[in-house]
Amino acid sequence: MENVTIVGTESGVLVLATESGERFSLPIDDVLHREIRRATRQSEPSAQRLAASPRDIQAQIRAGLTAAEVAELLGIDVDDVIRFEGPVLAEREHVIGQALAVPVLIGSEVEPDAQPTFGTAIRAKLADVQATDERWASWKEDRSWIIKLEFSANEVDHDARWSFDPRRSALSPSTRTRRSSPAKAPSPKV
C-alpha cells in the first residue's frame, strides 16, 4: 500500500498526493469528520478521551440508542449519557403521544362528531386480536420520526412501524428496513 500525504485543500476537498506524485481529492464531509473523530478516540487512552458534547449524546439518544449504547459508541461513561438523556426520552414519548392523537378515517365509518384517532383505532385492532405486551417506541431517522409498536398476539411477536411527520400530523406505514435503529428500541409506555 502506498502512503499519501495531504498537499492542501481546494473547494471543500483535501488534495492528497502519493510518493510517486499521483494526486487525489477527498471530499471534506460529515463522513470524513466522523471517521477522524472515531480514529482519534480509538488511538487515545480511555482516561484521556475527550468528553462528547451534550448535543452529540442527545442526537444518539434521539436516534433510538440506549444510554449504554451511546456510552460505548462515544467512548464515554454511561453516567455522562444519563445526565443528558432525560429531555430526549421525554421528547420521544411526546412524539408517540402526538402520533397516537392523529385523526384517522376508518373505512366508511365517518361520524361527524367523533373522528377516531390513530391510537384509538390501533388499540381497537389490538383488542380484536387479543394482543398483549403492547410496547411503543419512537426515534428520529434522517428527517422524520419512526413510530414502532411491538405486541404479541396468538403467541406470535409482531413489529409494526410508521413514518411520522409531527408538523403535518401525517402517518404512513414505514417501508424502511432496520438500519441504524436498535434491535429493541427503548419502550416508553403510553
Distance CA 180, CA 130 (A): 31
Three-state SS for 29?
coil
CA–CA dist 129, 30 (Å, integer): 46
pTM: 0.63
Q: What local confidence, expressed as pLDDT, does residue 13 receive? A: 85
User: CB atoms < 10 A from the CB of 111, how many?
Assistant: 8
**Percent of the chain scoring above 90 in pLDDT:** 54
The DSSP code for 47 is G
* Model pLDDT for residues 58-93, shown as the tens digit of each residue: 999 999 999 999 999 999 999 999 999 999 999 999
Starting at the edge strand that comes first in sequence, how are the strands of the sheet with 156-165 ordered? 132-141, 144-153, 156-165, 170-173
Least reliable range by pLDDT among 37-51, 103-117, 134-148, 168-182: 37-51
Distances in Å between the Cα of 77 and the Cα atoms of 50, 57, 109 are: 11, 11, 53
In the chain, the largest separation of any two C-alpha atoms, in whole Å, equals 78
